[in-house]
Structure 1
Amino acid sequence: MLDEFKEFIARGNVIDLAVGVIIGGAFGGIVSSLTDDIIMPIVGAIFGGFDFSNYFIPLSSNVTASTLAAAREQGAVLAYGSFITVILNFLILAWIIFLMVKAVNTLRRSIIKKQEEAAPPAPPADVQLLTEIRDLLAKQR
């Protein structure tokens, strides 16, 4: 059983997946910072200076604070501004991944096209058959 596990781990797919998860986690932090520190302030400036991160609905009468962090300390809140920020993070991340996959697919297609252009096309079946007949006749002489 241990040998099977070693074989499973040694496969390229498992290692590639592990690397992808680690890089994806780090990339998620970059996208979160991009959204929180760059995009959301610009959106806030365009739409009148509001900050999505502090948009919430108090679910308790004890909540009187104006910031989300203070409101959470006072009681239950529905933090829809944070949810909007997370949705924007997801959309940005999905768009960046789409562009990366598209670039890789374009590169892959160009490499395949170059390989196909480099290899001469195979002769038609009838030409191959005639060539074999000619070679057989040449051997009989």
Structure 2
Amino acid sequence: MLKDFRAFIARGNVLDLAVGVIIGGAFATITKSLTDDVIMPVVGAIFGGFDFSAYFIRLGEIPATYKGSPDSYAQLKAAGVPLLGYGEFVTVVINFVILAFIVFLLMRSVNRLVATMEREKAAGTAEPAAEAAEVVLLREIRDELKNRGATPPAA
């Protein structure tokens, strides 16, 4: 069983998947930063505030021992207050759309590159067209005449 597991891990697909997960994690961090630090402040400014994640609806009471700001989503959430954080949800949806669009562009480019390479490969390995039987016959006659020492007639 250990031998089979080692063979499974050594396969190219598993290693490719592992690399993809690692790169994807790093790429998700970049996308989150793009969304949180560049896009969401602009969206927040359009909708009336720079911190889009601050949009929420409180569904329960704030505990009496709570010392933080009643307008801080993160502090209220940490205190266990039930919240409907639609601003956070919108941020996550925008993150997903951006990530999906970038992956779409990446896959589109890869597919075009692969198609171009396949066309070039097909064009480079195409068999030359077969010669007509008359051309082959005339070439054989010419070669036979050369072998006999006769000169072929001028064209």
Q: Output the TM-score relative to the length of structure 2.
A: 0.74
Deviation at residue 87 of structure 1 after TM alignment: 0.5
Q: Which runs of 5+ in 1 are unaligned?
A: 128-141
Please state whether the residue corresponding to 2:38 is helix, strand or coil: helix
Q: Give me the identity figure in percent.
A: 51
Highest Rg: 1 or 2?
2
Which stretch has the larger CA shift, 16-25 or 67-76?
Answer: 67-76
Distance 1:113 1:38 in 2: 40
Tell me the equivalent position of 2:142. none
Tell me the equivalent position of 2:99. 93
Question: Residue type of the partner of 2:3?
Answer: D
Question: Residue type of the partner of 2:106?
Answer: M
Q: Give the counterpart of 1:65 among 61, 70, 92.
A: 70
Distance 1:86 1:111 in 2: 37
Q: Output the TM-score relative to the length of structure 1.
A: 0.80
Tell me the equivalent position of 1:13. 13
Deviation at residue 74 of structure 1 after TM alignment: 5.8
Distance 1:7 1:30 in 2: 34
Structure holding more helix per residue: 1
Deviation at residue 80 of structure 1 after TM alignment: 1.1
Distance 1:80 1:47 in 2: 13
Q: Please say if 1:43 is aligned against 2:48.
A: no
Q: Which runs of 5+ in 2 are unaligned?
A: 64-68, 134-155
The superposition leaves residues 20-75 of structure 1 with CA deviations (integer Å, 9 ceiling, x where unpaired) of 01111111111011100000011122333353201111111227811202322261
